[in-house]
Structure 1
Amino acid sequence: MTVLKALKKMFGKSEAEPLAPAAPLPVPQRQTESVSREPSAAEVHVPMPEHSAAIAPPVTSPTRAERPRRERAPKPVVIPWKPEDFVVEPQEGKTRFHDFPLAPELMHAIQDLGFPYCTPIQAGVLGYTLKGRDAIGRAQTGTGKTAAFLISIITQLTQTPPPKERYMGEPRALIIAPTRELVVQIAKDAEALTKYTDLNVMTFVGGMDFDKQLKHLEARHCDILVATPGRLLDFAQRGEVHLDMVEVMVLDEADRMLDMGFIPQVRSIIRQTPHKGERQTLLFSATFTEDVMNLAKQWTTDPAIVEIESLNVASDTVEQHIYAVAGADKYKLLFNLINDHGWERVMVFANRKDEVRRIEERLVRDGINAAQLSGDVPQHKRIKTLEGFREGKIRVLVATDVAGRGIHIDGISHVINFTLPEVPDDYVHRIGRTGRAGADGVSISFAGEDDSYQLPSIEEKLGRKISCETPPTVLLRPVVRVQRAIPAAE
């Protein structure tokens, strides 16, 4: 009786007031977040040595199936804002974002990003996708296609309420991209556009801690998931992600996914999403090859086709030069160009990972702050490198085509092709890293005895000739290592 009185006292019950039975917990079918709860009286078991006073009851941990779903907290709107604050005057030949039925939260974010008028790909795509149609877009990187499909996704998810029964690991929108850098960039843009909504953005990429990504997935609902094919399949095969609730699916850079051999993985992913007639599908590619169009036919329903000829955009804003130079003199020319002109944000492209590593090592040895970006660099270091380059802490970024494909950094003054690419499309992507957002840029390509044969196909792609120049003799002088000042404390 002494222990029974102690228990009643502990739970705030008098002798005349019986303990109430515990209410049953909801039992969701899929993975949810763990939430602690108080034990019911029925769960309390106390050993009864006669000399005991009140003994605290043990807490029974809920099983995985007993864990309740978590309600997500909306992101607060910090700055008071109304649509009238975003004034953009109509201009002939230009489409405003005001011309589309976009939510105020989305318009606020668009204003923050400084985008009053749509780019051609945005104006062309949004006219169809905001009405719910599938679309196929042909556009190079740097033309605004990422914002085009993100605005479509955000509009769909904000206009349509989520299902009442929702579990962790069920994204409503899925974006598949071929490279880790592109995934990170898309997610960053998505975060900026959803900052005034309650939508959550998540990324799955290889080369980063799997358990850390899993914890993010278990912590909150996933509205927009951006992923590389391999890592997404890892999560799906383990039962951590379920794609049967996807309302909008985007395949970005489909031609690159074909080139990299990702299509079998993408097929496996798409089979786990709703039928193409029950989801909206957007496919973007820099080229409309026969293979790309066959894929689009399989995965879309009556798509609108929007083609933007962006090669002119690159050639109009980027001043292009080609230097005829012996392979043995390429590094001297590179070093002296950067050092003599004091360039502060330069991208250098090479075809192979070992070339990238050697160029970066020589630049660092000779006193120029450089970093490399290739498939051999761990993902966490790649992200840190990109941020350092974006912030101006890294002066020269040396990259392969695969690593450099998804880089969108404003302010890159020069792109240097240390070796000419084997694929003409890659030349266009490379020089598109500079001259962005209407700014002027310069590309300089080194044509040596081993790669000059690539020039005719590049010129055919561009639709015009590029004159070869002989570099000034002063730029071929031996390298003199940059002497950096050493602080007195050292």
Structure 2
Amino acid sequence: MSNSDKSWSLDQFQVEPKDGETRFHDFDLAPALMRGIADQGFQYATPIQAQVLTHTLAGADAIGRAQTGTGKTAAFLITIINDLLKHPIEVKRYAGEPRALIVAPTRELAMQIEKDARGLCKHTDLRVMSVVGGMNFNRQQERLQSSLIDILVATPGRLLDFCTRRDLWLDRVEVLVLDEADRMLDMGFIPDVKRIVRHTPTSQYRQTLLFSATFNQDVMALAQRWTETPEVVEIEPTQVTTDTVDQKVYITETSQKFALLYNLISQQDLDKVMVFANRRDITRRLCERLQKKGMNAAMISGDVPQTQRMKTLERFRNGKVRVLIATDVAGRGIHIDGISHVVNYNLPEDPEDYVHRIGRTGRAGATGTSVSFACEDDAFLLPELEKAIGMKLECEYPPEELLKERPAPERELKDQQRQRDEQTERDQRAAQQASGQDS
């Protein structure tokens, strides 16, 4: 237990037993970790947490099938943190030798996992770090060369870069987590992941946890290859999509979709909206058109620099951006509380992407709304989406008032004026700097 926990006890974290629910108190967790759990406001384990932790806290390997939003991240982080706290290393340690490794397919997901890990580790001495592509390479290299690491979160390419340069050694990894294995397959990362796994101790000398939204043949073949007699835990996706998210499908024409989107947000005065499109050019065009209407909108896609994406996400999280438009790759793994509505401007071609998209809302027990636009270009995708979520989607025509072009309401006009004022201020600063340089 770290010094900060000596004045804290479980008596300060009271959770009443409840029929059919598993408390975190019901597991034998380290007090410093329990304080981190209390800080996060966790009281009762989600179904996947309850099932996974029963096995993994005892040291078993596990394969979990669960969609985003079910609490799987906390399940593997609690396993890792508890194990590292209860089995401290007595021998001398060196920089660049993590004790636990979490591999994720996208930068956003990796950085979200890092943030969650820091929250749970707040009252411990464990050090958390991420290495992801698109961020400052030299700064990450400097930290690897100078700091001890307990938990490392990484994307495959950047992780291998550092292994090749011998800035990172994975032979001391005690727990290996492969998150969203199906997405890593889709993105072509499996050759890289195979190389990463070869850098770690053999499967009998490490604990391996693998999570995937789907259990197809390829995923199961990899899971069996990398784990030792694993426990298999499956949580049905319908729990994510139907219990907390109200799903609507509006039948519309391609030419009406923008007016429908704009009116939906402005007339209902929606505050925190995430819009998904299938291509980067569509996200850019949508963002520009909404901004011209005076709406506070921003976009993230694969061609936006990572530092800019992180700033945009932070502004959206803080309420400074009202509408965030994203592609599936950029939107995967975004965990932001309070997203009231998800709009599918295009229906996704992959049904699993639909589940991940609408999982951005209705999180952590809150309710949310998903609105999908089905037009002549993509309505044929609906049967596969319904099959993926195990329910029939009700299709309806949008109310007439949502299709009419209307002048911008007062809120948008104020946003527009504020944007003009900010631009004027930037222009004045630039002019002052230029005149200073000339003199």
Range into which the TM-score falls when normalised by the shorter chain:
over 0.9
Q: Which runs of 5+ in 2 are unaligned?
A: 425-439
- Output one character per residue of 1:409-457: Cα deviation in whole Å (capped at 9) or x when no partner: 1100000000000011111111111111111111100001101000011
Task: Give the aligned residue type for 1:483.
Answer: L
Residue of 410, 413, 430 corresponding to 1:483: 413
Q: Which residue of 1 aligns with 2:60?
A: 133
Counterparts of 1:321 and 1:208 in 2: how far apart (Å)?
Answer: 38
Counterparts of 1:162 and 1:291 in 2: how far apart (Å)?
Answer: 36
- Output one character per residue of 1:181-226: Cα deviation in whole Å (capped at 9) or x when no partner: 0000000000000011110000001011100111222332010000
Give the Å deviation of 1:75: 6.8
Counterparts of 1:84 and 1:78 in 2: how far apart (Å)?
Answer: 13
Give the Å deviation of 1:462: 2.1
Residue of 310, 324, 332 corresponding to 2:259: 332
- Output one character per residue of 1:380-401: Cα deviation in whole Å (capped at 9) or x when no partner: 1111111111111110010111
Q: Which runs of 5+ in 1 are unaligned?
A: 1-73
1:121/1:148 contact within 8 Å kept: yes
Alignment of 1:262-301 (within 5 A): 262-301=189-228
Alignment of 1:85-484 (within 5 A): 85-481=12-408, 482-484=412-414
TM superposition score normalised by structure 1? 0.83
Provide the aligned C-alpha RMSD in A: 1.6
TM superposition score normalised by structure 2? 0.92
Runs of 4+ in 1 over 6 A off after TM superposition: 487-490
Counterparts of 2:10 and 2:144 in 1: how far apart (Å)?
Answer: 34
Secondary structure at the aligned position of 1:281 is classed as strand
- Of structures 1 and 2, the one with the larger relative CO (CA 8 A, separation 6+) is 2
Deviates more, 1:311-320 or 1:111-120: 311-320
Secondary structure at the aligned position of 2:356 is classed as helix
Counterparts of 1:186 and 1:281 in 2: how far apart (Å)?
Answer: 17
Counterparts of 1:218 and 1:85 in 2: how far apart (Å)?
Answer: 39
Give the Å deviation of 1:76: 5.2
Secondary structure at the aligned position of 1:434 is classed as coil
Task: Give the aligned residue type for 1:182.
Answer: L
Counterparts of 2:111 and 2:90 in 1: how far apart (Å)?
Answer: 28
Q: State how many pairs are aligned.
A: 417
More helix by share: 2
Counterparts of 1:392 and 1:210 in 2: how far apart (Å)?
Answer: 30
Bigger Rg, which one: 1
2:129/2:149 contact within 8 Å kept: yes
Give the Å deviation of 1:463: 2.1
Task: Give the aligned residue type for 1:339.
Answer: S
- Output one character per residue of 1:78-131: Cα deviation in whole Å (capped at 9) or x when no partner: 783111111111111000111111000000110111111100000000000011
1:75/1:195 contact within 8 Å kept: no
Aligned-pair identity in percent equals: 60
Deviates more, 1:336-345 or 1:312-321: 312-321
Give the Å deviation of 1:163: 4.6
Task: Give the aligned residue type for 1:484.
Answer: K
Counterparts of 1:131 and 1:338 in 2: how far apart (Å)?
Answer: 48
